[in-house]
Amino acid sequence: MAIIGGAAAVVLSGAVIAGSALAGTPAKSNGATDARTLASPGTITCPDVKSQLPAIPASAQAEVDRNLTLLQTQIQEANTRLRNTVGQGGPNFVQNAILGPLKDKRVSTIDRIALSIGRKGTKPTGLDALAPCALNAGGAAGANAGGGKASAPAAPGTGANQQSGGGTAAGSSSAAGTITCPDVASRLPAVPASAKAEVDRNLALLQTQIQEANTRLANTVGQGGPNFVNNAILGPLKDKRVSTIDRIALSIGRKGTKPTGLDALAACTLTK
């Protein structure tokens, strides 16, 4: 079977959702097969997280289980999007619009798992390596719930001006319009000194994400159907922002009061 995407060979997550049979011809670049939407899309598979965890303190078990279930849900949603966007975008559509945002979500969820365990035990390290997933164009067998092993093994506030630091941002305008997003920096509480570097890094990442989304918007004019921008650009951008904003909140919460409700700032809009 051909494996398309970014995951290394590891035990697959219980979240392996069966897709349709392979059809179409994958494009190759520099010896690697690009992830692309096929006539029948295949299946997204992800590394197993549950089997890589250390002993879980009893007080953290419920939160860990909740996040393991969330990992399962994220892959189910990604496979649904994979099926619903067949034929959309260019050769990198699956990687940019589905696998990339899925990785971002998994990084955030896996980080919450590690933090939960670390509050009462030894925080596991290196789990971020389990975040990337792959597109198995040949389909795969069923899955176990709760992030367990899979039955099939795997081979290898809106404004129009740009502001630094994660403020209300927009890319350069074009015939395609401009993507603008709510300001995050102005909604944060006092940031502890020990968290400032990490918060600033993630605020800068929010800015980069919007710039990349606007570049993609300009470069894909005329592609896809009527829902292309929402499915391939705005949706993935929101997913990335949810993950990045969550990391900001977690950073502040480690040494201060974790801010709540910031997820409401994740969604962006297209202004023509």
pLDDT digits 0-9 by tens, 179-197: 999 999 999 999 999 999 9
Q: What is the pLDDT of residues 146-180, one digit of tens each?
A: 333 333 333 333 333 333 333 443 333 346 789 99
Q: Which two tokens stand for residue 257?
A: 């009061």
- The pLDDT score that the predictor gives to residue 95 is 86
**Residue 40, Cβ density class (10 Å: 0-12 exposed, 13-18 middle, ≥19 buried):** middle
Collapse the DSSP code of 47 into the 3-class scheme (helix H, G, I; strand E, B; otherwise coil) and give the result: strand
Mean pLDDT of 99-118: 89
Collapse the DSSP code of 270 into the 3-class scheme (helix H, G, I; strand E, B; otherwise coil) and give the result: strand
Helix, strand and coil in the chain, % to nearest 5: 45, 10, 45
pTM above 0.85, yes or no: no
Q: What is the pLDDT of residues 77-94, one digit of tens each?
A: 999 988 888 877 677 788
- When mean pLDDT is compared across 53-57, 98-102, 110-114, 145-149, the lowest value belongs to 145-149
pLDDT level of residue 106 (50, 70, 90 thresholds): very high
Q: What is the pLDDT of residues 120-141, one digit of tens each?
A: 888 899 999 999 999 987 543 3
Q: What is the pLDDT of residues 192-234, one digit of tens each?
A: 999 999 999 999 999 999 999 999 888 888 777 778 888 888 9
| Domain regions of the chain by residue span | 3-136, 169-271
